[in-house]
Amino acid sequence: MNGHHHNSENHRGFGQGGQGKSEGGYCICAQCGYTVNHQPGIPCKSIACPECKTALVRSEIPGIKHVAKSETVAEVKPELTERKILYPKVIAEKCTACGACIEICPTDTIVMENGKAFVKIENCRNCKKCMRVCPENAFILE
């Protein structure tokens, strides 16, 4: 599927959907149509398209190729492009190498290096599941 991720198991009951904090829906690139499932609590604009490097926007329709606005996030809100996105990072001194973060990571982004967990941020989708599961609180956002 050309690297695009679509989920056919997106179920919604009556009255659900729309923009905002609802569950379901998609984060999509307004330039190329790259689509990922929306993760509640993670703003789509905090995810960069791996193809175009632009911030994603929210959509309820998977794989749409045309977005109502042709402007990029940088054009509409340039202050957003100046912000640094913070990713989970392991504090090596606190890590006990229990592997809980590796087990929970949905993208296999966390690996063991020198007996400590290490986050490869280029693959991280910033879900922060690793931070929530770590018994040693060995993660910070950096």
Measured CA to CA, the distance from residue 47 to residue 63 in angstroms comes to 16
Report which of residues 1 and 138 the model is more confident about: 138
- Are 87 and 128 in contact by the 8 Å Cβ rule? The answer is no
Spell out the alpha helix ranges (H) of the chain.
73-76, 78-82, 100-104, 129-133
- Binned at pLDDT 50, 70 and 90, residue 134 comes out as very high
Two tokens, residue 107: 């993208």
pTM (predicted TM-score): 0.44
Structure tokens at 64: 């749409």
Q: From start to end of 38-134, where are the E strands?
A: 57-59, 88-90, 110-113, 116-119
> Which domains does the chain show, CATH number per domain?
1-84 (no CATH), 88-141 (3.30.70.20)
pLDDT tens digits, one per residue of 81-91? 556 788 999 99
